Structure 1
Amino acid sequence: MPNSRPSRKAAADPTASSLYVQSVEKAMKVLMAFDGSQRNLSLSEIANLTGMDLSSAQRFTYTLATLGYLKKDQGKKYELSPKLLDFTSHYLQSSDLVNRAGPYLQQLSAETEEATNLTVMDDVDIIFVLRIVSRHVFNNSVIAGTRLPAWCTAPGMAILATYGDDEVNDIFDRSQFIKHTPATITDRGRLWANLEQIREQRYAHTEDQYFYGDVSTASAILDAHGRGIGAVNVAVSRSRWVAERDLRRYADLLISTASSISSKRRS
């Protein structure tokens, strides 16, 4: 059975290396404390969320504010600074994948008149790195930088289908199988069956898996070795979706688009 396949052995802890700088980790913890659930945080809230004592939290917060990555409001609470967007801009401008995919994503958007996305894997999640919305966009809350679980999204499953079985099992082991909607598939055996089908048909299709009313179709972008490095997908509102008309058309468009962006296979 697919769900009986062994997982990979755990890798050595990289944080134990003498090269690992803990002060950098702590600075990043301060920034990551601003996860979007609250616009601003007090010093004591930052200390609580990061697990630091108040003195350490104050030093790191002061340094980040001095560098311009945090700013303090009049109520002495901190919030993220727009300067952090520099990193997003630098990533988008320097990413070969984003630069290759951009024109194809625009063409796909024009042909479908639906929201089109480029996503990449980060650990057990996918991250939206490029998104072109349409007047029919289903969900305005999804923007560049949005992170979703790979196991319950069409782009994530499309990429996972290109990985080896042990790597997929490792990602599944570290994922939280939560019912995001009543339709969310959380059974590992069914997820493996879906992956096998995706491997055969070269595209993934999900309905109501993370957002209720969302119909998503995706195909993986491959590197020269056939491994998924990203995915393109089209997201359609259920009210606009007609399976007999749309599924095969979108699947063919996505497979063709992903293939055009993919690196040439090495012999």
Structure 2
Amino acid sequence: MSVDDVIRVKHERRYAVPALEKGLGLLRMLGEHRGELSFSDICQRTTMPKASVYRAVQTLEEMGFLARGTSGGYALGISVLRLGFDYLSSMDIVQIGQPVIHRLRDNTDCSSHLCVRDGRDVVYVARVAASGEIGAGVSIGSRLPAHCTAIGRVLLMDLPRSELERLYTEAVFAETSEAGPKTPQQLFDLLDGDREQGYAISESFYQPGISAVAYPLRNRSGDVVASVNVMAPRHNLPDKLKASLRQEVAQAADEIESYLQVTR
């Protein structure tokens, strides 16, 4: 690091709030763990002094950002969920896309969803369930591995190869599905095909008996910022149904994009 870089970093750090960083770091750690952690576990997973961890945990619990679980450990509290839902409901893509995916559900009798990407995950930000939906139901805020889902692949397909290799550095995926890619190279090959056709289809790919058709959503600059899909409770899609679903999802994507490209 050059002297100029050191000076720049020191200047930027003048405005940092260490206590806030530590508290947010604890919330992020618990969110990544996706379960309860005891006080001892939290102390072991951080470099903070035990007394600092205690004060941070107590403060976050009082504010509702942490809650005691059934086993006595700590987990994310309702205040974190409230912040997340407030954020998701305020996003332009949700406000714009919600009525469109309602019509998409009505036109196809299939559950419809909007997703954004967060690193290697897709996050469901809006959904409309089909009547009598079973099995593959997801809720707003659900996260799934992008490489295992059609709606995630369309969020990955425009990334340059260097960015994909930075995201997926392992030789073999630890988490996959029976029909999903087992290695990053298999994923990259799938993305080449998705990129060429402009959409992604999966049949019993992430979950047996569930098929999906997904299209990307682009902003004015042509960047993929979200994705839209329908999920059908079928092991595979007959050609006629596949063509019909593709047309409906493509039309929904075009409608949402027409608003995105005006408002962004």
Same fold? TM cut 0.5? yes
| Residue deviations 1:54-90 (CA, integer Å, cap 9, x gap) | 3232111111122232244798644433222321232
| Residue deviations 1:159-216 (CA, integer Å, cap 9, x gap) | 2222333333332337972352332212444323322222222211123433333322
> For residue 162 of structure 2, what is the amino acid of its counterpart?
D
- Please tell me whether the aligned partners of residues 34 and 41 of structure 1 are also in contact (alpha carbons under 8 angstroms): no
**Aligned to 1:121, what secondary structure does the other structure show?**
strand
Q: CA deviation at 1:49?
A: 4.3
Work out which of the residue numbers 197, 203, 206 in structure 1 matches 2:202.
206
**Aligned to 2:254, what secondary structure does the other structure show?**
helix
Aligned to 1:247: 242
2:133 is aligned with 1:136: yes
Structure 1 residues 10-21: aligned runs within 5 Å = 18=13, 21=17
Work out which of the residue numbers 218, 226, 250 in structure 1 matches 2:222.
226
CA distance in 2, matches of 1:175, 1:94: 38
CA distance in 1, matches of 2:109, 2:102: 10
Q: Note closer, same or farther for the CA distance 1:123–1:24 as it changes in structure 2 (3 Å cut).
A: farther
Q: Note closer, same or farther for the CA distance 1:176–1:64 as it changes in structure 2 (3 Å cut).
A: farther
> For residue 114 of structure 2, what is the amino acid of its counterpart?
L
TM-score by length of 1: 0.80
> How many corresponding residue pairs?
250
> For residue 121 of structure 2, what is the amino acid of its counterpart?
D
Q: Note closer, same or farther for the CA distance 1:251–1:75 as it changes in structure 2 (3 Å cut).
A: closer
Q: CA deviation at 1:145?
A: 1.4
**Aligned to 1:264, what secondary structure does the other structure show?**
helix
| Residue deviations 1:77-105 (CA, integer Å, cap 9, x gap) | 44433222321232133211110111111
CA distance in 1, matches of 2:168, 2:189: 14
Q: Note closer, same or farther for the CA distance 1:193–1:137 as it changes in structure 2 (3 Å cut).
A: same
Aligned to 2:41: 45
Q: Note closer, same or farther for the CA distance 1:165–1:206 as it changes in structure 2 (3 Å cut).
A: same
Structure 1 residues 81-230: aligned runs within 5 Å = 81-134=77-130, 135-140=132-137, 142-173=138-169, 177-178=173-174, 180-230=176-226
> For residue 76 of structure 2, what is the amino acid of its counterpart?
L
CA distance in 2, matches of 1:84, 1:41: 16
CA distance in 2, matches of 1:81, 1:67: 9
CA distance in 2, matches of 1:230, 1:129: 10
| Uncovered stretches (5+) of structure 1, i.e. residues with no partner | 1-11
> For residue 99 of structure 1, what is the amino acid of its counterpart?
Q
CA distance in 1, matches of 2:52, 2:105: 48
- Please tell me whether the aligned partners of residues 171 and 183 of structure 2 are also in contact (alpha carbons under 8 angstroms): no
Moved over 6 A (4+): none
**Aligned to 2:261, what secondary structure does the other structure show?**
coil
RMSD: 3.0
